Structure formats: structure tokens, C-alpha cells
Amino acid sequence: MYAMIKSMKQPEFIIGIDEVGRGPLAGPVYVGLVLAPQDFDFGIFSNLNDSKKMTMKQRLEIFE
């Protein structure tokens, strides 16, 4: 088992998926997906906890 795990390749990409909506019984549901290279610096999101609580200025800074 160890040899099998040791021989596995490191992933080239990381995929993040999220959904938003009221649910299929109450309304539409939307899904978003992000594909990032494995070496992407996710540190730029370190202060991001809840995007709904962000100000427009904070959203624009992260967008840049």
C-alpha cells in the first residue's frame, strides 16, 4: 500500500466547487467551479471568510 501511495503523482490542478440558491424545491440553484494550478498562491484569500459580508472595495481588491 505504501509503495502505491508513494508512486502517485501530485495533482496538477485543484478544483473548487460551490453552490448558491434556495434549493430545487424553492427556486433555482447555481453552481460555480474554479480550476487553479496546484502551485496557486491561495494566501490572497486568507482574510476571506464570508463573501456575502465583503464590501464592494474588498471585492474589487480580490478581483484584481
Residues 54, 30, 13, CA angle at the centre, nearest 5°?
Answer: 80
36 pLDDT above the threshold of 70: yes
pLDDT averaged over the chain? 79
For the segment 11-23, what is each residue's pLDDT rounded down to a tens digit?
788 888 888 887 6
The total domain count for the chain is 1
* Enclosing domain of residue 58: 2-63
Structure-model confidence comparison of residues 43 and 5, the more confident one: 43
**Beta-sheet strands, E only, within the chain:** 13-21, 29-37
Q: Are 48 and 54 in contact (CB under 8 A)?
A: yes
